[in-house]
Amino acid sequence: QDVRLWGGRFADGPSEALEKLSASVHFDWRLAPYDIAGSRAHARVLHKAGLLTAEELAQMTAGLDQLERDVADGTFTGTIADEDVHTALERGLLERLGPDLGGKLRAGRSRNDQIATLFRMYLRDHARVIGGLLADLQEALVGLAEAHPDVAMPGRTHLQHAQPVLFAHHVLAHAQALSRDAERLRQWDARTAVSPYGSGALAGSSLGLDPEAVAADLGFENGSAANSIDGTASRDFVAEFAFITAMTGVDISKIAEEVILWNTKEFSFVTLHDAFSTGSSIMPQKKNPDIAELARGKSGRLIGNLTGLLATLKALPLAYNRDLQEDKEPVFDSCDQLEMLLPAFTGMMATLTVHRERLAELAPAGFSLATDVAEWLVKRGVPFRVAHEVAGECVQVCEREGIELDELTDEQFAAISPHLDPSVREVLNVPGALAARDGRGGTAPSAVAVQLGEVKADLARQ
Ligand code: ARG
């Protein structure tokens, strides 16, 4: 028996080489449950259109239910000769219902509108999974911030000491980026809640089927595709998903890079939990931050999935082209990688030990309070240009003498500028510098507490 859905006009079967090239069943089999759900909804609109009797609909639905069970427990699987998941499942249905009834289901639909619909369903489900895992990571970051509400650290720009910030402020900056990623997933989901089923191969159906009913049946809140050509040919929803997952990977990679640095002997800001680090096969002392490194590596892979996909889509004429079969593996991979990475990464973040004393000790190093000297002068009416110069000179003297800013003598201050009386020392301490930055978004403990509340409220809404 010919399993092909298109054998009629061919005198010869496909060459082995074509069969191998054409097959997608080895990667699109994961869409089988969605294909069966689509088939059930399709059977109902065929019945509504008078193309299946009530009796036939009941048998068809029972057949699809049986097929679904057989797929779930592995009794039925697709083979390379099936070409793709749609063909395999039609074979499965024919085997269960016989050709007369089983052969009726394909009326008014095409693999083109099927795949476009199933792919949306699959990605929407995984957007939810990834969103949940992302929330776990955000919670781990919130936990870190909450556990260290008063720990100062050296804030950096250009990786150089810049100004002291609260450790919680720094960690919550990463949480903000992740909550935008989660928001992007939710907004993408709303845009993707449109069903192409009923678009047929490209032109719609002459059978009086109801695409809106199928859309409602399959949980597409925003109805069916407004244009059947666009419905079958557009893949911007895939590209956007690939972007969001790549961006998420990049945001995680940025955290990863810091964890790798912080975990070095030189930084000694954090220690990773044994359960979330690895050893070396030759150097017995080694404890490596492999999860963070894999996160950094995987982000490159996620970016590759996005760029590869965009290259596939570029310059495709309307409507469906077989090139589109190349759209699935990249984003399936993005889902798989992120779903594997996130739990490990979250575990690493949730269990790392923060070395408060080390962070606090380095917070004022590198003359990171020089801005505070300048701003202290500004508050006394000195123009900022002058204040900047004066504070810069303080740094120069300190560098020459090998001392810190608060170690300058009254005489040295006075020699640099008459404005610098000894009371400048008021601002030459980290808690003062932090507390002074109490505007919205700032690093003062009070401002960071507000930020923490906002991130938690955002998490509660997700
Ligand atoms: N397997 C195809 C894909 O992944 C769907 C089938 C459409 N095939 C076709 N010859 N029109 O895009």
Element (H, E) at 66: helix 54-72
Cα–ligand 1 centroid distance for 334 (angstroms): 21
Residue 317 maps to a domain:
yes
Q: In this model, does residue 58 exceed pLDDT 70?
A: yes
208 within some domain: yes
Task: State percent of the chain over pLDDT 70.
Answer: 100
Compute the average pLDDT of residues 110-136.
Answer: 98
State the DSSP code for 224. B
Q: What is residue 285's predicted lDDT score, i.e. its pLDDT?
A: 87
- Ligand 1 in reach of 112 Cβ (< 6 A): yes
ipTM, interface predicted TM-score of the complex = 0.95
Q: Is 84 in the pocket of ligand 1 (CB under 6 A)?
A: yes
Burial (CB count within 10 angstroms: exposed 0-12, middle 13-18, buried 19+), residue 261: middle
Residues 135 and 60 in one domain: no
CA–CA gap between residue 387 and residue 396 (Å, rounded): 14
Residues 166 and 223 in one domain: yes
Q: Which atom of ligand 1 is least distant from the CA of 83?
A: 1
The answer to whether position 248 is within a domain reads: yes
Residue of minimum CA distance from atom 4 in ligand 1: 325
Q: How far is Cα 408 from Cα 86, in angstroms, rounded to an integer?
A: 78
Going by alpha carbons, the residue nearest to atom 6 of ligand 1 is 111
User: Are both 184 and 215 inside the same structural domain?
Assistant: yes
Q: Evaluate if residue 7 carries a pLDDT over 90.
A: no
On whether residue 455 sits in a domain, the answer given is no
How confident is the model over 47-58, as a mean pLDDT?
98
Whether residues 344 and 390 share a domain: the answer is: no
- Per residue in 220-229, pLDDT (tens digit) is 999 999 999 9
Contacts of residue 377, defined as CB under 8 A and 6 or more positions apart, other chains included, come to 386, 387, 390, 391, 417, 419, 420
Does a structural domain hold residue 1?
Answer: no
Is 44 near ligand 1, meaning CB less than 6 Å away?
A: no
Q: Is residue 116 in contact with ligand 1, taking CB distance under 6 Å?
A: no
Closest ligand 1 atom to residue 201 Cα is 11
Q: What's the rounded mean pLDDT across residues 174-190?
A: 98
Burial 26-38 (b: 16+ CB within 10 A, else e): eebbebbebbbbb
Catalytically annotated residues: 158, 280
Looking at the structure, tell me whether residues 70 and 166 fall in a common domain. Answer: no
**Residue 323 maps to a domain:** yes
Would residue 453 count as lying in a domain?
A: no
Q: Both 32 and 126 in a single domain? A: no
Ligand 1 centroid – CA 102 distance (Å): 21
pLDDT, mean of residues 1-12 = 80
Q: What is the pLDDT of residues 65-83, one digit of tens each?
A: 999 999 999 999 999 889 9
Rounded mean pLDDT, 227-238: 98
Say how far apart CA 238 and CA 317 lie, in whole Å.
17
Same domain, 320 and 421: no
Cα separation of 347 and 446, whole Å? 29
Domain that includes residue 54, residue range = 7-107
Instruction: Taking residues 188-193, report their average pLDDT.
Output: 98
DSSP 240: H
Domain identity same for 212 and 155: yes
Q: Are 152 and 360 in contact (CB under 8 A)?
A: yes
Rounded to the nearest 10°, the torsion over CA 346, 351, 352, 354 is: 120
Q: Is residue 354 part of a domain?
A: yes
Mean per-residue pLDDT over the chain, rounded? 96
Q: Does one domain contain both 306 and 178?
A: yes
Scanning the structure block, which residue is given the tokens 């170690």?
Answer: 407
CATH number at residue 383: 1.10.40.30
- DSSP conformation class of 164: E
Query: What integer is the mean pLDDT of 164-169?
Result: 98
Q: Is the model's pLDDT at 127 over the cut of 70?
A: yes
Q: How far is the CA of 211 from the centre of ligand 1 (A)?
A: 20
Atom of ligand 1 nearest to the CA of 324: 12
Work out the pLDDT band at 1, boundaries 50, 70, 90: low
170 lines ligand 1 (CB under 6 A): no
Which residue among 109, 113, 322 has the greatest number of ligand 1 atoms within 8 angstroms of its CB, and so is best to mutate? Answer: 322
Ligand 1 close to Cβ of residue 111 (< 6 A): yes
Structural domain count, the chain: 3
pLDDT tens per residue across span 243-284 = 999 999 999 999 999 999 999 999 999 999 999 999 888 888
* 142 and 234 part of one domain: yes
| Ordered DSSP codes for 253-296 | HHHHHHHHHHTSTTT--EE--GGG-B--SS-TT--B-HHHHHHH
Instruction: Determine the distance separating the centroid of ligand 1 and the alpha carbon of 325, expressed in angstroms.
Output: 6
Share of residues in the chain with pLDDT > 90 (%): 94
- Which of 274, 249, 250, 248 has the alpha carbon at shortest distance from 263? 274
User: What's the rounded Cα separation, in Å, for the pair 379 and 453?
Assistant: 31
Nearest in space to 388 (alpha carbons), one of 401, 371, 365, 408 = 371
Would the pLDDT of 388 be above 90? yes
Name the residue at shortest CA distance from atom 11 of ligand 1: 112
HSE (side-chain half, CA atoms, 13 Å) at 25: 19
CATH number at residue 319: 1.20.200.10
Mean pLDDT on 47-56: 98
Tell me the CATH number at 54: 1.10.275.10
pTM: 0.95
What's the maximum distance between 2 C-alpha atoms anywhere in the chain? 102
